[in-house]
Amino acid sequence: MLKTYQKYIIKNFFSKFFLLTLIFLSLILILSSLEEITFTKDTNTSFLLPYFLTLINAPITLFEIFPFIFLISTQFFFIDIFENREIFTLRQFGMDNLNLLRFLTSVSFILGLIVIILFYNFSSLLKNKYLQIKNNYAQDKKYLAVITKNGLWIKDKQRNGTVIINAEKIESEYLINSSITQFDKNFQITKNIIAEKVNITKNDWVLFDTIVTELDNSSTKYEKFKFETNFDLERISNLFSDLTSLTYFDLLSLEKDYKAIGYSTSEINIQKHRFYSLPFLLSAMTIIATIIMIFNK
């Protein structure tokens, strides 16, 4: 059971934390709304859309600055108990500097667990919705890509129609065991291309050991075949770089899919380590702020 003075410490610390959170959230909403208004100014949308986009994107932005919020919240906590001379009352109850440091660190760690388990996953769901809505108004929305257990899938909108690309896996700068299906503007198949290996370092892909099947079912083999797309290796890599729109369980699922096709999981590992380390980082910020406020006269 928590003692009365411990409950007071938690209440005081939480009040500073929530106050600072509201202040930073307000700043995020104001600054982000300007960016979203600029983004939607040339689109035929409701005037409420940029504010809605700002609202659903704000939590994940707030998540990124939580360490800074914890640092300042701890400092404001100590300013309050110093100005009210409550620090002397706490010491009479046996709460010396070291015990106070331990207690605040424990509170920060538990709050950090709540942040990553509840707040992060909630924020990532909103971020995912944000990206889906914004993609509908982006100029390059016609270019889509996704990685599943069935490999890499790309939808590429071209002048004469649409191209659907599927590859079993990625090895370095190559797609392995790829199929490319071309559709006309009425989404009727016009050509099918199968290649054992595809070099994707540039927009003009180089296909090796290729079989091209035309509309009349005639097939031609090529040792090398060039195919123009709107994608290169860099663009494909960047398509999957915004991992903040995925919950923790989505990250684990995506990691399995990446491994299945040989795609690098380094970005996912970094995101997972950030997830694991956040409670320790928030606790460290509390420790730093406590040391500064206690020993800085």
The one-digit pLDDT tens for each residue of the chain (297 residues) are 678 888 889 999 999 999 999 999 999 999 999 888 888 877 777 888 889 999 999 999 999 999 999 999 999 999 999 888 888 888 887 888 888 899 999 999 999 999 999 999 999 999 988 887 877 776 555 556 677 667 788 888 887 888 999 998 888 888 999 999 999 888 888 889 999 999 999 889 999 999 999 888 888 999 999 998 888 887 776 666 678 888 889 888 888 877 766 677 888 888 899 889 999 999 999 999 999 998 775
Closest CA relative to residue 3, chosen from 103, 78, 113? 103
pLDDT at 151: 79
Specify the pLDDT at position 66: 95
Sign of the Cα pseudo-torsion (183, 188, 190, 196, in order): positive
Tokens in use for 51? 């504010």
According to the model, what pLDDT value does residue 155 have? 84
- Tell me the C-alpha distance between 149 and 168, whole Å: 9
By residue count, the chain amounts to 297
CA atoms within 13 A on the CB side of 91: 9
Neighbours of 201 (CB within 10 A): 13
Contact (Cβ atoms closer than 8 angstroms) between residue 232 and residue 200: yes
Q: Residue 227 and residue 225: Cα distance in Å, rounded?
A: 7
Which tokens hold the place of 88?
């002397």
* Beta-carbon contacts of residue 122 (< 8 Å; ≥ 6 apart): 59
CA dist list (Å): 23 to 75, 82, 115, 236: 15, 23, 18, 38
Amino acid residing at 72:
I
Which alpha helices (H) appear in the chain, and where do they start and end?
Answer: 4-40, 49-64, 66-83, 86-92, 97-114, 120-135, 233-239, 248-261, 266-295
Question: For residue 139, what pLDDT is reported?
Answer: 54
Do 70 and 288 touch, CB atoms closer than 8 A?
no
- Residue 112 CB neighbours (<10 A): 23
